[in-house]
Structure 1
């Protein structure tokens, strides 16, 4: 039920509020079932693109199915083996979504450091890096991002989707400088 409400109502509103707009190139790192990918693709329109990156083939198949059912052709699926390496060109994305991925369950601190270097590499100048640190202290997430040379922009308290449930929580937004 929450997933449907998110996809039909809150998802696009939330993503527009963080700064996603038509024509951008977005990386949804650790996209899972695509609950951020799909509303992002709708906002971007035909001139934009979402890279939906995940290690779980089953989840990526769900993204493909949802994209097909919504007639969305601006999503590129990227299957990885769960490493921090991002198979995209340098300075190729406008926005990176790091939602519920930069914590110890998925990546140890040294691997998170490597991941943030990769995010920096693939991000264009002034790209937005939006972080939802659900299983991590906000201050710890903030410090890791600043140490990785991202400039803090704002902290938003919003309604968003976590593990299929609507929650209200903080999202931290940074810029590549």
Structure 2
């Protein structure tokens, strides 16, 4: 089993910020290969350029893959799931969004093939916050849930930037 973690908009969210490395280490300690994808120009270059960078990394996405995205990283997961032909094990969308939220995001597409995205993961966990300062809030979470189903969890945890993210560790407990 492997896990791929996509951070949010750079330069504010890099591989060493927030909870990304802690979760990756927890997964690795339990025998799951985990990588935090370093995208230093995320939301500063086009989505096409970002996807080219990701393709050059030769990441393996298969039926044993857990995809974890935070903020703009969730948009990367949507783009990847639209372009694969295999069903990932599970997807975690933390502070995800699919509608404009008042910020400039090059990763956000005007529309998505929700049926294809939904069919390319066995399970979706959507985690949003009522008090998200970047408008990746419960409304965005509900939109994602309406498109993808799965499990919707709504909290009062801001933008989920705490280094130790106990909620995510609890959800990933099923794999560790």
Assess same fold via TM > 0.5: no
Task: Normalising by structure 2, report the TM-score.
Answer: 0.44
TM-score by length of 1: 0.44
